Amino acid sequence: MTTFPTWDDGTTGTGPDHQVHWYDEGTVIIRQALRTNFEGPFIYLLLGSERALLLDTGTGHIDLRAVVDELLTGRDLELVIAHTHGHGDHVGGDPQFDKVVGKSAEEVAQYFGITAWPEQIVQFDLGDRVLDVIPIPGHHASHLAFYDRSTRLLITGDSLYPGRLYVFDWSAFRASVVRLAEFVAAGNPVDFVLGTHIEMSQESGVDFEFGSSEHPGEHELQLSPAVLVELAEVLTEAGDRPLRIVRDHFIVYPLSATGEPL
C-alpha cells in the first residue's frame, strides 16, 4: 500500500531542513523545507537493481549529498543524477555531486539517447525498472517527464504540479502537454502525477503568494491523471494565444521570454 505523508508546510518555522518519504521500497520522495528556500522543491530518488536515479538536486541550500549517500548506504547501485529541467531551484545542489547529467536539451538528449527531440520517447532502465523518458519543453527547453512503469507514477517536474505552471514557450508547452496526455492515453496507466512544487492551497483555484515560505492548508502533492487530461484540454481550447487559466488544481501562467507575466 502506497501512501503520501503530510508534508512540512513551513508553518512551524522550525524543524528538519528536508523531509524524506519512502513511497514504496524503491521510491523516495524528498522535500526541501520551505524555510530553506521558498521554492520548497520535491526531489525524487528511484532505485532499480543496478542504478539509482536522482531527479533534481534542489536549490542547493541543504546537504542533499549527505541525504542521498545515507539513503543509498548498503546498496551497490550506480547513482545517476539528472534533472526534470535546468532551472536553478532544481540544479542548485549539482556542485555537491561528482558527476551530473548536463542541463541543456542537447546534453539531456545525448545522455538519454534521444535523437528526435522532443517527439521521441526513450527508455531508461534502472535494472528491472524501466522508465520512459519524455521530452516536454515549454516551461524550460530541456524539460523531461519520467514515467515509471512499475509504480505507475508520472513525474512531471514544473510542467504540471499543484501550482503556477509558468509557461515560457506557449506553443512548445501546449504541444508537450498534449503529447504527454496522448502517451498516457495510449496505454500507460498513471496512478499519480507528481510535480516538483506545491503552490496551491486546498481551496480550489487559490494559490499562495509568490515567495511564501509558509503554506497553511497546502494542496497535496499528488494529482490524478485526470488533471493532465484537463490541462491538455484547456491548452488546446486556448489555442495560439497565451492565456492565464485558473483551474481547481493548477494555474496556467504564461510569461514573456524575459519572465514578465503576460
Contacts to Zn ion by CB under 5 A: 87, 89, 158
Closer residue to Zn ion in complex, CB, 89/94? 89
> Which residues, other chains included, contact 155 with Cβ-Cβ below 8 Å and sequence gap of 6+?
44, 55, 84, 145, 146, 147, 148, 194, 195
Question: Residue 171: what residue type?
Answer: S
* Between 126 and 228, CB nearer to Zn ion: 228
The answer to whether residues 213 and 173 touch, using CB atoms and an 8 Å cutoff, is: no
Give the whole-angstrom CA distance, residue 169 versus residue 257.
Answer: 8
Q: At closest approach, how far in Å is the CB of 206 from Zn ion?
A: 20
**Do residues 76 and 49 lie in contact, with contact meaning Cβ atoms separated by under 8 Å?**
no
Q: Which is nearer to Zn ion, 47 or 251 (CB)?
A: 251
Beta carbon of residue 184, minimum distance to Zn ion (angstroms, whole number): 22
Please state the closest distance from residue 56 (CB atom) to Zn ion, in A. Answer: 9
Least distance to Zn ion, CB of residue 37, Å: 10
All three cell numbers of 5, joined, read: 505523508
Choice between 87 and 219, CB closer to Zn ion: 87
Least separation, in Å, of the C-beta of 194 and Zn ion?
A: 13
The enclosing H or E element of 109 equals helix 105-112
Phi/psi zone of residue 235: left (φ > 0), alpha (ψ -120 to 50 degrees), beta? alpha
Q: Between β-strands 153-157 and 192-195, what pairing exists: parallel, antiparallel or unpaired? A: parallel
For the CB of residue 128, give the shortest distance to Zn ion in the complex, in Å: 30
**Identity of the residue, 26 or 163, whose beta carbon is nearer to Zn ion in the bound complex:** 163
Three-state DSSP state, 79: strand
Q: Looking at beta carbons only, is 188 or 212 nearer to Zn ion?
A: 212
